[in-house]
């Protein structure tokens, strides 16, 4: 579907971006911006790049839309379907969605990568940490890893398989959403949970109880490589191949805007990033909590290179389908993709990020 040109005022913050050392191209003329419809899983990157004027300078206006208004499930896991129908132009979400789309006849392609770590910690209950020193000791243990279709679950299973254990060789506990924190804390206190795999903000809340210790830290690229053997492609931008083929120039403009934003992120602190974000980003949220989440996620962000490496893509492909998923709607969507043939080279396209990285210097 063709992008829709709409007028927009350029942001005064563009001067701030220039002063920060992120060179921007000449501003696009008013009325010449192409509207790009975006679904976002809550990441601050689109709001930051918009507020700093990076997308407007590239001739792009991001229009944030609700993914649930377009998907067959009224959820976000099958967002690839409306993307292939031309109802959604781009999505910012986890890279594994690219694999699930390909396996369900709704292909999408990653064009720029933001994070090299999944932001996960695997924690062990202090009462058994002398007996559980690695995932090799997880056999027969009671593990809390969230929903049985989740990244937390399949990464735990993948690490168990690497350690020589059957991926399903543990007892899952605490898989429900409602009252999860209380359930986990009570389970730890009563000795019914031996280890947990979670991400922020749950990780910090559980650590604050003093009942657990960190076994694996997958919140940084270094820790992720140590645990998995490579970095983990996490949040990225993906686009339907039909959109890329029809609008390569627009895709390049989009990626340019994101590269400019990532250059800014790589050279600023969490407090500076928060100060540059629009007020709407914090609407209805605890500002201090949001800034703390940004601070905790920054160590996992890609620095300088926002392309996908074949080995990291292979890692995700190996880990995602290590075992069966549950029978929830999302679980069944992911399960259907398990046996589908996959040409991994078609799941990402580094041309646009590589061109943007070359044209836009690091500050």
Give this prediction's pTM: 0.90
Please state, in angstroms and rounded to a whole number, the distance separating the CA atoms of residues 293 and 302. 17
Q: Where is pLDDT greater, at 178 or 317?
A: 317
On the question of pLDDT at 184 being above 90, the answer is yes
Q: What pLDDT was estimated at residue 209?
A: 96
Tell me how far apart the 2 most distant CA atoms of the chain are, in Å: 65
Strand partners, 63: 37
Q: What is the mean pLDDT of the chain?
A: 91
Domains of the chain from N-terminus onward: 4-116+233-359 (3.40.190.10), 120-218 (3.40.190.10)
Please state, in angstroms and rounded to a whole number, the distance separating the CA atoms of residues 84 and 81. 5
- Place 179 in a pLDDT band, splitting at 50, 70 and 90: confident
Question: Phi and psi for 19 in degrees, rounded to 5?
Answer: -65, -30
For the chain, percent of residues with pLDDT exceeding 90: 84
On the question of pLDDT at 6 being above 90, the answer is no
3-state secondary structure of 336: helix
On the question of pLDDT at 299 being above 50, the answer is yes
On the question of pLDDT at 73 being above 90, the answer is yes
Strands 171-172 and 142-144: parallel
Q: Is 188 exposed, middle or buried (0-12, 13-18, 19+ CB in 10 A)?
A: buried
Mean pLDDT in residue range 328-347? 92
On the question of pLDDT at 2 being above 60, the answer is no
By C-alpha distance, which of 113, 77, 319, 289 is closest to 197? 319
- Lowest mean pLDDT, pick from 26-30, 333-337, 348-352: 26-30
Q: What pLDDT was estimated at residue 1?
A: 39
Contact criterion met (CB below 8 Å) for 13 and 51: yes
On the question of pLDDT at 164 being above 80, the answer is yes
- Lowest mean pLDDT, pick from 2-6, 113-117, 330-334: 2-6
Please state, in angstroms and rounded to a whole number, the distance separating the CA atoms of residues 287 and 290. 5
Tokens at 43, concatenated: 């990441």
Q: What pLDDT was estimated at residue 177?
A: 61
- Lowest mean pLDDT, pick from 1-5, 207-211, 303-307, 351-355: 1-5
């Amino acid at each position: 579907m063709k992008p829709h040109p709409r007028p927009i005022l350029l942001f005064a913050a563009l001067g701030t971006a220039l002063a920060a050392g992120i060179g921007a191209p000449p501003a696009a003329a008013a009325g010449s911006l192409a509207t790009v419809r975006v679904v976002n899983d809550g990441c601050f990157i689109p709001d930051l790049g918009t507020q700093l004027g990076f997308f407007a300078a590239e001739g792009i206006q991001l229009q944030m839309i609700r993914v649930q208004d377009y998907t067959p499930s009224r959820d976000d896991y099958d967002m690839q379907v409306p993307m292939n129908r031309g109802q959604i132009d781009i999505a910012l979400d986890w890279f594994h969605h690219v694999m699930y789309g390909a396996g369900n006849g709704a292909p999408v392609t990653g064009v720029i990568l933001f994070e090299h770590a999944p932001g996960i910690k695997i924690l062990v209950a202090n009462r058994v940490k002398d007996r559980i020193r690695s995932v090799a000791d997880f056999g027969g243990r009671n593990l809390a890893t969230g929903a049985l279709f989740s990244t937390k679950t399949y990464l735990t299973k993948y690490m168990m398989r690497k350690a020589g254990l059957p991926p399903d060789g543990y007892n899952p506990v605490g898989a429900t959403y409602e009252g999860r924190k209380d359930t986990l804390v009570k389970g730890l206190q009563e000795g019914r949970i031996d280890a947990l795999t979670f991400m922020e903000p749950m990780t910090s809340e559980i650590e604050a109880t003093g009942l657990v210790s960190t076994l694996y830290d997958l919140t940084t690229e270094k820790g992720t490589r140590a645990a998995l053997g490579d970095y983990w492609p996490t949040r990225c931008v993906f686009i339907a191949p039909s959109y890329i083929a029809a609008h390569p120039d627009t895709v390049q403009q989009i990626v340019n805007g994101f590269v400019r934003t990532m250059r800014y992120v790589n050279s600023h602190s969490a407090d500076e990033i928060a100060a540059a974000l629009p007020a709407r980003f914090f609407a209805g949220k605890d500002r201090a909590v949001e800034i703390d989440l940004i601070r905790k996620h920054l160590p996992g962000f890609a620095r300088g290179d926002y392309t996908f490496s074949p080995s990291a893509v292979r890692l995700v492909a190996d880990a995602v389908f290590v075992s069966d998923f549950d029978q929830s709607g999302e679980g069944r969507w992911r399960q259907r993709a398990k046996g589908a043939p996959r040409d991994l080279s078609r799941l990402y396209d580094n041309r646009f990020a590589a061109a943007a990285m070359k044209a836009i210097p690091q500050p």
